[in-house]
Structure 1
C-alpha cells in the first residue's frame, strides 16, 4: 500500500510494513462538555500508553475548538470531519462555507480530514431495499440529508472534490475517504451495498492519486470474521492504507464492543500489514458519552490489536516482545515489575524459578 506521511509535528508514517497505528476520537456534544473532553484527552496523553492520531468529532461549536487546545499537548496528526459543525437542519450545507472551513483548519493545525464522496441516490435506494438499517455513518448521513434538503443530484463532497484536493495539495493534508454505507450490523456485513460503495470509492482514490493527494480508506463497521479476507481482497488492489471503523465482529455483546472490534481489526491489519485502528469503547452502542475509563480501556484494546497484528510482519514489534521475554528470564518471574524471583500466587512451585532442569 502507498505510504502516507502526515504533515504533523511528528511526521507520522503509515503504510505497509510499518507498525499498525491507533487513532483515538473525542468530541463535544453540548456546551458543558468542553472541559470534560479536554481533561479526558489530557489525562490519556499523560500516560505511557498513547494514541498515534487523534480525531475531534465535536458536533457543538466552541471557541476555540477542542482540537486547538489539544494541539498544544499532542504532536501527532489530528483530524476532523469539516461538515460536522456546519450542518443546518433547514439549510443543509453550503459549499462556500465548507471550502472555507477546510482551508482554515488545514492551514492552522489539522492534518487530515474525512470526506464522504460516495453517497448517490442509487446507493441510497439500494440500501433502503436491501438492509434493515440503511445508514449508520453519522458523517455520511449528514451528506445524504444535505442532498435531500438541497435537492442535489450529486453530493456536496463529490461536487467539491477537485477543490478539496487542491487545498490538500497546498497544505499537505491527508484525505480520509469516508464510508457512508458501512454496515450497521453484522447481519448485513459485507453486503451488496458495501461492494457497490467500494466501486465508487475507487474512482475517488484514483482521482486523488492523479493529483498527488495522500489518501486513506475508512472501512467496514460491522462484519463477520469470516468475511474479512474477502473484504481485504476487494481493497488490496486499491493500494491504500485502511482505517477501519471497528470492525465489530459480533453484535451480541453490546458492552464489549472494544473486545469485539479488537478481535476483527487485529486480523484485518495482519492481512493488510499496516494501517490505522480506530479505538472503540465498550459502550459504543449504549447511547452515552464514553467516560475516561471507557475511553482508556478502548485505547488499550486497540493498542493490543495493533501490536498483535504488527507482530505478523514487523520486526520492530517483535523486538518489544523479546525484551519482555528477557526480563522474565532474568528475574525468574512472569511479574514484569517483580524485584525478586517468583510471586505469591505460585510460591514454591513457580515454574520460572525451577525451569533450569539438568540435561539428560
Structure 2
C-alpha cells in the first residue's frame, strides 16, 4: 500500500476498496468519488484499525448521513445499557456512532464498540482526557492531550472532534460578544477553562501539526469542533461563531495539505431564517469541506421535544448544504437519553435527512417514497410496513385499532379514499348502505 490515507490515495489517482464501497452505496461512479475525496469535498472516515467498518462517504452529492451520540457519565454508569443503544442504532442503519463517555476508564467500552460496529466511530478526546490521565484540568499538559488522541487513534476511532478553532483570537471575540448562553460546547468550555487558568494558547491549535501527524498515521478524519456554536437562537450567527469558523477554514486547508480528511462542525441553535445562509457561509469559508451539524434547534422552548426542533432545523440545513446530521433526542437539555429516547432521536433525524435528500435530488432518494405511495394505493399493509422508517411502530398503530375490513384503516373505514377510487376505476359500485346490511 503506497498511501497512508484515503485522501492521499485519491490525490495519487488510486481508487481504494473504501471508495468502491461508497460508490456502490451511493450509485455514483468510482472516479467521481475519488475526485471528491482528493479535493476534500467528500470524506470517508475509515481508521485502518477499524476492521468491522462498512465505509460511508460524507459530503457533496451524497446521501445525508446520521450520527448517534451515546456513552456513560458519572451519574449514569451502565455499559450494558449503552451497548443496547449501539445495537439499536445499528438496527436502524445509522452511519456513525460517537462515544462521548466522560467518566473513568472508557477504553474497554470503546474497544468493544469498534470491534462490533459496522458504523464509523467518533470520539471527543477532550472529554476523555481527565479520566484517562487522572489529572485535574489545570495540570494537563499539551503532551498529555497528544497522548489521548494517539490512544483513541490506536483503538480504531474513525473520526475525532478536535476543538482547534477556539484560539486566543476567537476567545477575545467571544468575550466581546456578551452572549446569552456563553459556551455550550462541553469540549469547548473545558478548553476555554484550561486556556484561562493556564494562560496558554489552545494546545490543539498551537500543536495542530503534531495532532495531524497522529491522525494521518491511522487515517483518522478530523472533525473540526465548533466550540463557539450558539446555544440559543439569540446567539446564532454572532461574531464568536463566525470568527471561529474563519479559523476552521484555515485549519481545514492545513489538514488537507497533510492528506488528513476533514469535516467541519456547525450549529447548534438557530432561527429558521438564518439556517440556509449559514450553510452557504460555512461551505465558502471552509472550502467545501463536509459540514456536520447538531440540529440546528430552531427554538429554545421545547425541552422534551427537541428531537422535533432539531429535525426541522436539520431538514433545512441538509437541504441547504449540510452533509451530516447529529441526532438530538427528546432528553436533550434534560438527562442522559434512555433507549426509547435514542429511538425517537434516530427516527426524527432519519426523517430530516431523507426529506433533505429528496430536496437535493440525491440519486434514488425518491424511489422508496414512490414504492410506499404505490403500496398505499393498493392498500397493501405488509408492503407499507416494509418501507416505513419504523415499520414496527407503524404496524403496532395499525393493529391497535384494526378495521373491520383489512383493506382500510380504522380512521376512514369503508369510506377510505383509496378504496373508493380503486373500486370506481375497476368498474365496481360503491354502496355503503347495502354493504352494511350484508
TM-score (norm: length of structure 1): 0.92
Q: 1:74 to 1:59 in 2, by over 3 A?
A: same
CA distance in 1 between partners of 2:106 and 2:228 (Å):
32
CA distance in 2 between partners of 1:42 and 1:283 (Å):
17
> Quick check: 1:2 aligned with 2:45?
no
The residue number in structure 1 matching 2:295 is 246
3-state SS in 2 of match to 1:342: coil
The residue number in structure 2 matching 1:322 is 370
The size of the alignment, in residue pairs, is 356
Structure 2, unaligned stretches of length 5 or more? 1-39, 386-397, 399-404, 427-438
CA distance in 1 between partners of 2:425 and 2:96 (Å):
50
Q: CA deviation at 1:156?
A: 0.6
Q: CA deviation at 1:251?
A: 0.4
CA distance in 1 between partners of 2:67 and 2:326 (Å):
5
> Quick check: 1:67 aligned with 2:110?
yes
Q: Which of the two has higher C-alpha Rg? A: 2
Q: 1:282 to 1:230 in 2, by over 3 A?
A: same
Q: State the 4+ residue runs in structure 1 displaced beyond 6 angstroms.
A: none
Tell me which protein shows more helix as a share of its residues. Answer: 2
The residue number in structure 2 matching 1:111 is 158
Alpha-carbon deviations, 1:72-119, whole Å to 9, x = none? 331111011112121344534322222222222213221111101112
Higher relative contact order (CA 8 A, sep 6+): 1
The residue number in structure 2 matching 1:271 is 320
Q: 1:35 to 1:91 in 2, by over 3 A?
A: same
CA distance in 1 between partners of 2:157 and 2:237 (Å):
32
Structure 1 residues 175-184 or 326-335, which shifts more?
326-335
3-state SS in 2 of match to 1:84: helix
Please give the root-mean-square deviation of Cα atoms over the aligned residues, in Å.
2.3
> Quick check: 1:167 aligned with 2:214?
yes
Pairing of 1:1-20 with structure 2 (within 5 A): 2-7=41-46, 8=50, 9-20=53-64
Q: CA deviation at 1:171?
A: 1.1
CA contact (8 A) 1:328 1:334 kept: no
Alpha-carbon deviations, 1:197-224, whole Å to 9, x = none? 1111111011111111110011011111
Q: 1:125 to 1:38 in 2, by over 3 A?
A: same
CA distance in 2 between partners of 1:67 and 1:317 (Å):
33
CA contact (8 A) 2:137 2:194 kept: no
The residue number in structure 1 matching 2:307 is 258
Structure 1, unaligned stretches of length 5 or more? none
CA distance in 1 between partners of 2:222 and 2:338 (Å):
29
Alpha-carbon deviations, 1:24-48, whole Å to 9, x = none? 011111286132543432441463x
CA distance in 2 between partners of 1:138 and 1:247 (Å):
17
Pairing of 1:1-360 with structure 2 (within 5 A): 2-7=41-46, 8=50, 9-30=53-74, 33-45=77-89, 47=91, 49-62=92-105, 64-87=107-130, 88-130=135-177, 131-152=179-200, 154-237=201-284, 238-272=287-321, 275-286=323-334, 288-312=335-359, 313-331=361-379, 336-337=384-385, 340-356=406-422, 357-358=424-425
